[in-house]
Amino acid sequence: MNRITLSLQRLIGVLFLIAGIGKFSTAIEDPYLVLEQARISNLHTWLAPLSAFAVVQEKWLIPLIGTTMILTGIALLANRGPVRLSIIILICMVILFVMMLWRAYPQIFIIDGLIITALFYLLRKR
C-alpha cells in the first residue's frame, strides 16, 4: 500500500472514529433528532417501517452504530486487524445511512458520496 492510500485510509479512520464518538454526545450531533427527522421525511414511503423501527429502537441502535464506527475507525487508523472487513462494514453502513436520510438531509449525497468513493477505492487497493 502506498503512502497516499495509507494516508487516505487513516483520514477515513479518523473521520469514522470522530463520528462514532459523536453518537454518544449530543454536543457533536444529536442522533436521536436525526432519526426522528428521517422518520418524518420517510412517512408514506417504503422506508417508513425501517425509519420507525430505528426511532423505536434508538436506545440500543445508536450505541451499536457508534461502537461499530469507533471500532472500524480504529482498524483503519491502525492498519491492523480486519481492515478489509471494516471497509466492507462501513460501505454497508454508509449506503444504509444515505437510503434513510436523503429526504431529510439531501446534502448527504455530497458528503457520503465522497466517503463511499474513498471506501471503494480503499477496498480495491486491499
What pLDDT score was predicted for residue 83? 96
What is the number of other CB atoms lying within 10 angstroms of the CB of residue 99? 16
Distance CA 69, CA 14 (A): 10
Q: Which amino acid is located at 77 in the chain?
A: L
Cell of 36: 426522528
What was the pLDDT predicted at 68? 97
- Are 69 and 19 contacting, i.e. CB atoms less than 8 angstroms apart? yes
State the pLDDT at residue 1.
75
Give me the tens of pLDDT residue by residue for the chain, a chain 126 residues long: 799 999 999 999 999 999 999 999 888 888 999 999 999 999 999 999 999 999 999 999 999 999 999 999 999 999 998 999 999 999 999 999 999 999 999 999 999 999 999 999 999 998
pLDDT given at position 25: 86
Grid cell, residue 84, equals 478489509
